[in-house]
Homo-oligomer: A and B are copies of this chain.
Amino acid sequence: MNTSENRMIEENQKLMENKFYNDILPLNRSGWLTTEMFIKAVVDLLLEFIKETNNPNTKVINFHHPTELIAKLDLRIPINPTSLQKVIEDCKEVLKYQVRTGHPRFFNQLSTGLDLISMIGEWLTATVNTNIPGGAISNLYAVNAARHYMFPRCKAIGMVETPNLAMFTSEDSHYSIRGAAALVGIGVDNCFPIPVDEKGKMIPSKLEEEVILAKKNGYVPFFVCAVGGTTVYGAFDPINEIANICKKYRMWLHVDAAWGGGILLSKKHRHLANGIEKADSVTWNPHKLMGALLQCSACLICHEGLLFQCNQMCADYLFQQDKPYDVSYDSGDKAIQCGRHNDVFKLWIMWRAKGMNGFEQQVNRLMELAKYFTEKIKKTPGYELIMENPEFLNICFWYVPKNVRHLESTEKKARLDKVAPKIKAKMMSSGSTMVGYQPDKDKPNFFRMIISNPATTYEDLDFFIEEIIRLGESL
């Protein structure tokens, strides 16, 4: 490198020291130059890594024991945001200790090598970040762990000696709970839906009734799924009351907080999920409310060692116990999957950059945007809220075109059911914005607005409200 190049790098570094995640896109729409510089700095690191990896004289591994790595790498999440320069340094540090699986002298696994065409494919996939949502596997982990906790013999001998098991879940819960019931051999018919109230929250007394009924019918109730943020309405079930019923009847409490779990980052709003600390297991998708790239899904289980007992198959040929380091750090045998895509690094590096405070502000701001949007459509002719005061970031509403507003109920319903799909089709053709719709029970198709993108502004919401009118007014 020549002197002027060196000077440029130094200057860039100085600049990055005073820049933070909210100085670049998407939060700062005029921050393009800094954004470009930041991304290119990371790309330079990655290019360097690729170049080194392809040099046979580079070490395949820069070996350190797990405890040494923990001492060398600062993995903590700070309270305040970290500068972009520090983010770049974090990346640099992490790269230092990677096993170079792409090195031509790495023969340790079945998949070796680093194909650069495939790599740019993966970069592109990450950048477009499509195909969502995704906590289904986490819910499967929970159902499986709960069964193992109560009926450990089932792992070896199957369901032959297991009594008829009953699961209970909010009728508004995600379909993956029923999917898990089918997959593990319990059956979807034995996964009983519990009614919700007019706010979409599970009714605890109904849960208890169903549990008593199931017992009467010879079932063993063993698993309850409460939801922390339902898919359509964003409702939080009353977890504390549900936890009491679980305790009384000795059932596993799972909270599917795939969507709503991120609310815990906000001191102001975390009360929505009160009681979640009593759960046996929690599903949480940082790729939803926290905005980590797809996908990033966790199943937190508060029975230490259970996942090992439940899932390990003791495959000696993969999980050797005579390795030169402390094998208690090896987590492979805990998982249903064998190898897994590394989904956690992006969350860690983002959390470092934002700090606890940055994330708290992000969640609080989204809640403010949602409130603004709700208040505004209340005052806008043609808009009708499904629920008067949504408590979370889902705002469900009908848009009622002028000619439909004064129709009588049955005809209005029939007409409304066609309105949302028509507006959505026009919206997709014009490409101006995108929002989902669905029917629910006796409610005809309605829109479900989701405010989870921290880059969204008040102006974007104003635009959205006008755009629906433009597309739908004359329907």
A218 CB → nearest B CB, Å: 11
Please tell me if A317 contacts chain B, counting CB pairs below 8 Å: yes
Q: How far is the CA of A436 from the CA of B109 in the complex (A)?
A: 7
How far in angstroms is the closest Cβ of chain B from A157? 4
Provide 20 A-B residue pairs closer than 8 Å at the C-beta atoms, listed in order of the A residue: A21-B117, A26-B114, A26-B115, A32-B51, A49-B128, A104-B457, A105-B456, A107-B433, A108-B435, A108-B450, A110-B285, A113-B454, A114-B129, A115-B293, A118-B346, A154-B185, A156-B189, A183-B184, A322-B445, A324-B424
Chain A, interface residues (CB within 8 Å), range: 35 or more
Closest 8 CB pairs of A and B: A185-B185, A134-B339, A158-B187, A121-B346, A59-B431, A113-B453, A324-B425, A122-B126
Contact digits for A34-72, partner B, Cβ 8 Å, 1 yes 0 no: 011011101100110111001110011111000000000
Contact (Cβ within 8 A) A136 B452: no
Is there a chain B Cβ closer than 8 Å to A254's Cβ?
no
Do the beta carbons of B292 and A463 come within 8 Å of each other? Answer: no
Taking a contact as CB atoms under 8 Å apart, the answer to whether A118 and B349 are in contact is yes
Does A80 interact with chain B (Cβ within 8 Å)? no
Closest B residue, CB atoms, query A314? B175
When distances are taken between beta carbons in the complex, the residues of chain B under 8 Å from A187 are 154-160
List, in ascending order, chain B residues with CB within 8 A of A430's CB. 59
- Asked if A111 CB lies within 8 Å of chain B CBs, one says yes
Q: Which of A103, A112, A128 has the most chain B CB within a 10 Å cutoff?
A: A128
Given contacts A95-B124, A125-B342, A182-B313, 9 further A-B contacts (CB under 8 A): A39-B120, A107-B433, A110-B231, A118-B350, A122-B293, A133-B338, A156-B188, A185-B186, A295-B341
**A85 → chain B, closest Cβ, in Å?**
13
Write the nearest CB–CB distance from A329 to chain B, whole angstroms.
13
With A and B bound together, what is the CA distance between A290 and B434 in angstroms? Answer: 37
A54 contacts across to B, CB distance below 8 A: 25-26, 29, 455
Identity of the chain B residue whose Cβ is nearest the Cβ of A425 in the assembled complex: B324
Does A259 lie at the interface of the complex (its beta carbon under 8 Å from any beta carbon of B)? Answer: yes
Q: Per-residue CB proximity of A335-353 to B under 8 Å, as 1/0?
A: 1111111110111111001
Of all chain B residues, which has the CB nearest A451?
A: B107
- State whether A453 and B102 are in contact (beta carbons under 8 Å apart), knowing that A94-B124, A117-B87, A421-B324 are contacts in the complex: yes
A434 contacts which chain B residues (CB < 8 A)? 60-61, 99, 103, 105-108
Q: Verify B433–A342 contact, CB threshold 8 A.
A: no
Cβ < 8 Å to B, chain A residues 398-444: 421, 424-425, 428-440
Interface membership of A460, Cβ < 8 A? yes
Cα A124 to Cα B114 with chains together (Å): 13
- Judge if A242 is at the interface, Cβ distance under 8 Å: no
A133 to B242, CA, bound (A): 40
